């Protein structure tokens, strides 16, 4: 009897997972919108190794 209960619980978890994935749009995420252009901030334009030479 416990085995049947465990199997039903596992089946319920699988069905809930599939329903959640389908309701979420299968992983579709909207595009990221940015108002300002990308910049590296204070990072150097060349690797540190080449600056030492």
Question: Mean per-residue pLDDT for 30-48?
Answer: 73
pLDDT value for 2: 92
- Nearest Cα neighbor of 52 from 35, 44, 22 is 44
Half-sphere exposure of residue 4, counting CA atoms within 13 Å on the CB side? Answer: 1
Hey, where are the domains in the chain? 1-25
The pLDDT confidence band at residue 52, using thresholds 50, 70 and 90, is: low
pLDDT at 33: 76
The pTM of the whole model exceeds 0.85? no
Tokens of 46: 């060349």
Is pLDDT of 20 > 60? yes
The yes-or-no verdict on residue 53 having pLDDT over 70 is no
């Amino acid at each position: 009897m416990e085995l049947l209960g465990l199997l039903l619980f596992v089946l319920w978890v699988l069905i809930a997972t599939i329903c959640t994935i389908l309701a979420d749009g299968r992983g579709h995420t909207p595009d990221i919108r940015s108002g300002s252009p990308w910049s590296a901030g204070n990072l150097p334009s060349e690797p540190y190794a080449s600056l030492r030479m």
